[in-house]
Amino acid sequence: MLHNDLDINLQKADPGCLKEKPDQNNLGFGVHFTDHLFVMKWNRQRGWHNAEIKPYQDFSLDPAAMVFHYGQAIFEGLKAYLGPDKQIFLFRPKENLERMNRSALRMCMPRFSVENVLKALKALIYLDRDWVPESKGATLYLRPTMIASEPGLGLRPAEEYTFFIIKSPVGAYYSEGFNPVRIYVEDKYVRAVDGGVGEAKTAGNYAASVKSLTEAQEKGFSQVLWLDAVERKFVEEVGTSNIFFVIGDELITPPLSGTILPGVTRDSVIQLAKDWSLDIKERSITIDEVYTSHKNGLLKEIFGTGTAAVISPVGELCYQEKVITINDGKTGPMAQRFYEELQAIQFGQREDVHNWMVRVA
Ligand SMILES: *Cc1c(COP(=O)(O)O)cnc(C)c1O
């Protein structure tokens, strides 16, 4: 059932009913959606079935659908890029789909064939190829999602699921320049505990984080840096990004201990760091070490990594009312180098030595 070829029923939107394309220079993030979506269903008897690409439209779901009550929902985020010759590429899409299968396993949801879903994803992008933005740094953001659609209030894994992919043209993240952000180090709330669901991209993790985010934003910060839930001293990740520190000659990122999301961008930065013979270490780092290194003049840079922003430099940290400024609040050379290299690979301006790019059409 996992590996049979998937037959996709194609229903194209009526040419007269295509949406008006949004202004390419003012796309925002996840505001506009393309003309088509992909949907397939799963149940115990039939496995994956009813795969279809059809006009973007509302779903009809029973109010008792289990996702609304018990939150079995997982998702992914990746992008399609327009290369210099107008061909469309994806960046390491199998990593995202394999991660989604790992999220599915953790949430007692069905897994799928990565090959089949990648095929569906490519077909869907090709159909809406006019939606891949041409403006500099803009991309088509892809959101594969799976939800428990079986109605019922008894708590158990659902026996019916809906998988879908929607797509949104998104602007360059740094439309106003590559400016460092102010980050609040969260010491009241926690994101994930050992044995929990922190390494799954599951909806509840984000629902649980918005209280912390809004409180940080009220104080003038744009994101929070999470600490471990037990001792509240080890650095984990920031918002929806993984985190890196440049201390002395070391590039440090916390290890994948089970409570942080294993980012594809994180993995790519580690690979580039190895290519460049940098002293890259996946090791635990406490917030005290960060502050002490700053005091000793050794903390050179901090930056986040994630699909949405690629690299987000951190200009300021606030921990227990103590504010430190990193690299004078400016983007450091390391963050700049990773950002430029990744963007150049993704937009087809640099040789892709690791075969990260997958051609759509
Ligand atoms: C998606 C996500 C990341 C970044 O992962 P990428 O694959 O690099 O986009 C990091 N942390 C959290 C909590 C996330 O949800």
pLDDT in tens, 51-78: 999 999 999 999 999 999 999 999 999 9
Model pLDDT, residue 248: 98
Residue 117 and residue 57 in contact, taking contact as beta carbons nearer than 8 Å: no
Q: Please give the angle made by the CA atoms of 338, 341 and 342, to the nearest 5 degrees.
A: 80
| Alpha carbons 110 and 115: distance in angstroms, whole number | 15
Tell me the C-alpha to C-alpha distance, in Å, between residue 181 and each of 99, 165, 184, 287, 331: 28, 31, 10, 18, 10
Confidence of residue 124 (pLDDT cuts 50, 70, 90): very high
Atom of ligand 1 nearest to the CA of 264: 7
pLDDT in tens, 325-360: 999 999 999 999 999 999 999 999 999 999 999 999
Confidence of residue 49 (pLDDT cuts 50, 70, 90): very high
Residue 295 and residue 331 in contact, taking contact as beta carbons nearer than 8 Å: no
| Tokens linked to 196 | 């929990």
The alpha carbon of 246 and the centre of ligand 1 are apart by a number of angstroms equal to 20
The alpha carbon of 103 and the centre of ligand 1 are apart by a number of angstroms equal to 13
| Tokens linked to 229 | 């839930």
Model pLDDT, residue 314: 97
Model pLDDT, residue 176: 61
Model pLDDT, residue 173: 77
Residue 324 and residue 288 in contact, taking contact as beta carbons nearer than 8 Å: no
Residue 42 and residue 160 in contact, taking contact as beta carbons nearer than 8 Å: yes
Please check the confidence at residue 223 and state whether its pLDDT lies above 50: yes
Enumerate residues lining ligand 1, CB below 6 A: 77, 201, 237, 240-242, 261, 263-266, 305-307
Model pLDDT, residue 361: 78
The stretch 30-51 carries a mean pLDDT of: 97
Angle between helices 114-127 and 93-106 (to 10 degrees): 130
| Alpha carbons 76 and 167: distance in angstroms, whole number | 11
Confidence of residue 1 (pLDDT cuts 50, 70, 90): very low
Atom of ligand 1 nearest to the CA of 306: 8
Residue 215 and residue 351 in contact, taking contact as beta carbons nearer than 8 Å: no
Model pLDDT, residue 3: 54
The stretch 17-32 carries a mean pLDDT of: 92
